[in-house]
Structures are given as structure tokens and as C-alpha cells.
Amino acid sequence: MFPALRMQGRERTALTQPADEMSKSERPNPLFRNLNAKVASIPMILTAMVVFVGGTVWTVLYSFTNSKLLPRLNFVGLDQYYRLWATPRWLISIENLLIYGVISLVFSLVIGFLLAALLDQKIRFEDTFRTIFLYPFALSFIVTGLVWQWLLNPDFGIQHVVRDLGWTSFSFDPLYNSSIVIYGISIAALWQGTGLIMCLMLAGLRGIDEDIWKAARVDGIPMWKTYLFIVIPMMRPVFITTLVIIASGIVKVYDLVVAQTSGGPGIASEVPAKYVYDYMFFAQNLGQGFAASTMMLLSVAIVIVPWAYLEFGRRK
């Protein structure tokens, strides 16, 4: 039944386009020019409408059903949402995402920027340093998680080694301590991600006009002030791109947690994406998984859509 619905949806997308075209042809804007751009944009339009909008609508629709293993249109109202918000694990997931989000955002930006600023001091071996900071980005989260899980394991990782050196009361087991586990996970996330942020920032710094620095020096403005009040505001576009990259990574965080702790100890390091996945596939309760993903989408939409419109919307 719903494959048909789907098809309809797609046809409608395809149909509205030429219709749009027609209405526009009366305007001075030459039709053929737009036509080419539109034809070229068909993959984007299809992706946006069929996959992202279509998939989202589909997800939201089925979040009101009691679909288990297979999607079924058996509506149960808001039941899935009541259950979701009464589930301790979901609440913990949200809290963890917030902590993880703030840490990643702040530290990635700060560390990334500081490293970039250091590299921008006309140093020797810049290429070497940059490669060192960037290489972890080439490794998948699964790999990153695995290595850090190992380093942070109290039985043979850093704690074990330091204790062997004679400091027997030394304790460093962030992945095995419920109250700080989410910070432990962030260590690996920062290790993996800051290199890219540094590159973005470095690129941004290199884009600042030489004369700005000269002028600042002539005026006797200290370097840190120049960075903070002149350079950073000028790097707005690069910060925007960086924010999109970091923030989208934060919302999606999943593999890293699975590889490091599987959400443990207990459920102390659970994150929303993992809740969605576990309930959709592990618990075979699609309805619940969809309800959780709808909440995620909703919160993303509330924050991102207005901002994205301001940022990327009609600008001359």
C-alpha cells in the first residue's frame, strides 16, 4: 500500500517542477537558463525530497504506530512518545548527548583554533605537525574507539602502566566509571576530530588579509586581542562550515560509543542514536525507534532550520 504512496510522492515532486517552470516562463527570467540548472539539480532535489523529506515524513508517520519488526500502519496515537519519555535510558541518552555536545563543540573549536594559530606562526616542520594532528581523522570511529578503549582500560592501559611504575594508588578509568564515562568517550572523539577542525581553522587564518595584521601591529594591539576581536570575527564563514561539521557529527554519535563502551557501564554512556538503533533493530520495535528518531529530528529542526535559512537562505 505504501510503496504506491511513495511512488505518488515521487511523481508529484517530478510534476511540480515543470509546473513551476511554466509559471516562471512568463517572467523576464529566461527559461532555458533555469531549466539547465534544474535538470542538473535533479539528483539534489530527489535526495532532498525523496530521501530526506520523504524518509522523515515516513519516519514521523510510523512513529504513531505500534510497528514491531515490520512497518505497519496500526495507529496508537502518542503511546510511543509517552513510553519514550518515561524510559530512564532515553533520558540518560539525552543528558549524555548534551554533555558530549558541549564538550565536543567547545574543545574542538578551542583546541582546533589554538593548534591552527600555533601552526600559523611560520614554524618549521609545519607539514609534519599538521599531518600528525590530522591523521586520526583518516581512521574510522570503530578503530578510534577500539584503540582508546584499550588505552583507557584500567587492567592493561594507562592506569596499569602508571601503577607498575610504582604509583599504586593512581586511578584513571574513565570508561569504567559511570559518572565520568561520557567524558572518557569525548577524549577519543577529540583525538579523532580536532585535526580536521584545525585544518579548517588554519585555512581560515590563511585567508585573512596580511594588511589586517600589519595594521593591528601598527596600532599596537596585542596579538591575542587581534585574534579575538579582529581575526575570529572575520573568519565567520569558516566557523559556520566547522559548526555544521561538528554539530552534525555530535547528533549522529554512535560508532564511537559502541566501540568503546557499548553504552556502559550499565547504561551510563548511552546516546540517542544508539537508542534509535537498538530499539529499531535489536528490540524489533520500529515504532519506538521511530518515535525516538522523530524527537531527534525535531530538536535538530528547531535549532537548525531557522539558522540554516538565515545563513543559506536568500542572500544576494
Partner 1 sequence: MSMANTTVQTSTAAGARQDVTEPYGPKPRRMFSRRNIFLYGTLIVVALYYLLPLYVMVVTSLKGMPEIRLGNIFSPPLEITFEPWVKAWATACTGLNCDGLSRGFWNSVRITVPSVLLSIAIASVNGYALANWRFKGADTFFVILIVGAFIPYQVMIYPIVIILREIGLYGSLSGLVIVHSIFGMPILTLLFRNYFSSMPEELFRAARVDGAGFWGIFLRIMLPMSLPIFVVAIILQVTGIWNDFLFGVVYTRPDTYPMTVQLNNIVNSVQGVKEYNVNMAATILTGLVPLIVYFISGKLFVRGIAAGAVKG
Partner 2 sequence: MRYKLLTAALAATVALQFAGPAAATDLEVTHWWTSGGEAAAVAELAKAFDATGNHWVDGAIAGSGGTARPIMISRITGGDPMGATQFNHGRQAEELVQAGLMRDLTDVATKGKWTEVVRPKSLLDSCTIDGKIYCVPVNIHSWQWLWLSNEAFEKAGVPMPKDWNEFVAAAPALEKAGIIPLAVGGQAWQSSGAFDVLLAAVGGTDTFLKVYKDKDAKFAAGPEVAKVFKAADDARKMAKNTNVQDWNQATNLVITGKAGGQIMGDWAQGEFQVAGKTAGKDYTCLPGLGLNEVIATGGDAFYFPVLKDADKSKAQDVLAETLLDPKTQVAFNLKKGSLPVRGDVDLNAANDCMKKGLAILAKGAVIPWTDQLLSQDSQKQKEDLFAEFFAKPELTVEEAQKRFADLIASAD
Residues lying near partner 2 in the complex (CB under 8 A) are found at 68-70, 83, 87-89, 153-155, 173, 176, 178, 261-268, 277-285, 288
Residues near 311 by beta carbon (within 8 Å), at least 6 away in sequence: 240
Q: Is 277 in the site for partner 1 (CB under 8 A)?
A: yes
275 dihedral zone (left: phi>0; alpha: psi -120 to 50; beta): alpha
Shortest spacing between CB 257 and partner 1, in angstroms: 12
The alpha carbon dihedral of 80, 85, 90, 96 has a sign of: positive
Is the Cβ of residue 117 or residue 162 nearer to partner 2 in the bound state?
A: 162
Shortest spacing between CB 77 and partner 2, in angstroms: 16
Query: What is the Cβ-side half-sphere exposure of residue 265, based on CA atoms within 13 angstroms?
Result: 11
Other beta carbons less than 10 A from residue 83's beta carbon:
14
C-alpha span between 138 and 18 (Å, rounded): 43
Which of partner 2, partner 1, none has residue 80 at its interface (CB below 5 to 8 Å by kind)? none
Is the Cβ of residue 53 or residue 76 nearer to partner 1 in the bound state?
A: 53
Contact with partner 1 (CB under 8 A) among 209, 218, 219, 233: 209
* 126-134 CB contacts, 8 Å cutoff, 24+ apart: 130/198, 130/199, 130/202, 133/194, 133/195, 133/198, 134/195, 134/196, 134/198, 134/199
Q: Is 142 in the site for partner 1 (CB under 8 A)?
A: yes
Instruction: Take residue 51 and report the three cell numbers written for it.
Output: 530521501
Which of partner 1, partner 2, none has residue 106 at its interface (CB below 5 to 8 Å by kind)? none
Q: Is 236 in the site for partner 1 (CB under 8 A)?
A: yes
Contact with partner 1 (CB under 8 A) among 255, 264, 267, 283: 255
CA 33 centroid distance within chain: 36
Q: Is 219 in the site for partner 1 (CB under 8 A)?
A: no
Closest CA relative to residue 266, chosen from 178, 180, 184: 178
Contact with partner 1 (CB under 8 A) among 66, 177, 252, 265: 252
Shortest spacing between CB 277 and partner 1, in angstroms: 4
Q: Is 55 in the site for partner 1 (CB under 8 A)?
A: yes
- Cell 564538550 belongs to residue: 103
Instruction: Take residue 56 and report the three cell numbers written for it.
Output: 522523515
Q: Is 84 in the site for partner 1 (CB under 8 A)?
A: no
88-119 vs 126-134: helix crossing angle, rounded to 10: 170
Is the Cβ of residue 181 or residue 199 nearer to partner 1 in the bound state?
A: 199
Which of partner 2, partner 1, none has residue 173 at its interface (CB below 5 to 8 Å by kind)? partner 2
DSSP sequence for 290-310: HHHHHHHHHHHHHHHHHHHHH
Q: Binding marks (x or -) toward partner 1, 281..310, rule CB under 8 A?
A: -----x---x--x--xx--xx--xx--xx-
Shortest spacing between CB 187 and partner 1, in angstroms: 10
Q: Is 22 in the site for partner 1 (CB under 8 A)?
A: no
Shortest spacing between CB 262 and partner 2, in angstroms: 6
- Which one of 73-81, 100-108, 150-158, 167-175 is the stretch in contact with partner 1 (CB under 8 A)? 150-158
Q: Is 151 in the site for partner 1 (CB under 8 A)?
A: yes
Asked if 106 and 219 touch (Cβ cutoff 8 Å), the reply is no
